[in-house]
Amino acid sequence: MQEKLHLLKWVQISFHNNCINKDFTIVLYADSTRTGPKTINYMTYFLYNWMGLNKTLFISINKLTNVGYLPNILKIISNVFFIANFAVFYFIACLLFYFCTRRVTVDKQSLFMAGYFELTRIGICYALFGLTFAALKFSINLSRPFCSLTKADFITIANTDLERCLSSFPSAHTGLSILIAYCLWPYMNKFLKCTSCLVILAVATSRITLAMHYPADIVYSTIVTILIILAGNFVFKILKNKVIKSIGNGIFRLIFV
């Protein structure tokens, strides 16, 4: 069933400092499969809506970037960073590593273990990334711009019928572009590093251009991805000598001995 967007409800919050009262809007969303609405409280107003700035920024960027062929170009870039695509990239990297290692005749095991450790570290980060973003999207259930705004407030060339409405927070495409840049960073020169930063910016912009995410989704996605990378490296460091190394030695003997 499709999600239903409930009417806007005015909620008044009283600030006792200086006896000032301030009104602001809280949007009530509900999934039609649930019994009641999901209320977005005043914490969301400050931390996510940014006191209305989140919506204002979205509308400005969305209209500014939906000109000419730009949205089509940004859509192509965005599609590259679909979360499942990383699994394909990772599999290709593993195959290339295998064939390159087979050609080595000197100190093959040392070379294999170095590459194996790196691929394992990246794999742990990706696994944590997928689990974390899926958990956030399906637990927080914030509505995408094309669902929560009127049609007069946004432009999009995307087929919104194929998208889940309540998956705005956080932006997995943006996070994945950051994760890939992080994985490739040690192997890039200055030009490629600058290019990767521009690609990340293009992906983030594309999600607003296509009316899939608000600016807040982009910002928090960046923060979450950085935390995931730190957590993945920490997990790898703990398991490296206790578990991962022994598994790597076993794989090497199985494949190359």
- Look at residue 90 in the predicted model and tell me its pLDDT: 95
- Look at residue 3 in the predicted model and tell me its pLDDT: 41
Domain ranges of the chain: 1-47, 51-256
Q: 48 is written with which tokens?
A: 């996510």
26 pLDDT above the threshold of 50? no
Under the banding of pLDDT at 50, 70 and 90, the label for residue 212 is very high
Task: Specify whether the CB–CB gap between 212 and 154 falls below 8 A.
Answer: no
- Look at residue 105 in the predicted model and tell me its pLDDT: 86
In sequence order, what DSSP letters do the residues of 41-104 get, joined into one string? -HHHHHHTSGGGHHHHHHHHHHHHH-STTHHHHHHHHHHHT-TTHHHHHHHHHHHHHHHHHHH-
pLDDT tens for 141-150 read: 999 999 999 9
Those residues with Cβ within 8 angstroms of residue 101's Cβ, 6 or more apart along the chain or in another chain: 108, 111, 112, 115, 256
CA separation for the pair 66, 63 (Å, rounded):
5
Q: Give the pLDDT mean for 72-95.
A: 95
257 or 21, which is more confident: 257
45 pLDDT above the threshold of 50? yes
- Look at residue 257 in the predicted model and tell me its pLDDT: 82
26 or 123, which is more confident: 123
Under the banding of pLDDT at 50, 70 and 90, the label for residue 1 is very low
Class of domain 51-256 (CATH, top level): mainly alpha
Under the banding of pLDDT at 50, 70 and 90, the label for residue 38 is very low
- Look at residue 6 in the predicted model and tell me its pLDDT: 38
Q: Which residue has the tokens 């293009």?
A: 202
- Look at residue 31 in the predicted model and tell me its pLDDT: 39
- Look at residue 43 in the predicted model and tell me its pLDDT: 81
Q: Look over the chain and give the mean of its residue pLDDT values, rounded to a whole number.
A: 87
Q: Give the pLDDT mean for 128-148.
A: 96
Q: 182 is written with which tokens?
A: 């992080």
Q: 84 is written with which tokens?
A: 């499942």
Under the banding of pLDDT at 50, 70 and 90, the label for residue 44 is confident
Give the lowest-confidence range in 16-30, 72-86, 120-134, 157-171. Answer: 16-30
> Angle, nearest 10°, between helix axes 108-140 and 245-256?
120
- Residues forming beta bridges with residue 27, ordered by sequence position: 8
Percent of the chain with pLDDT over 70: 84
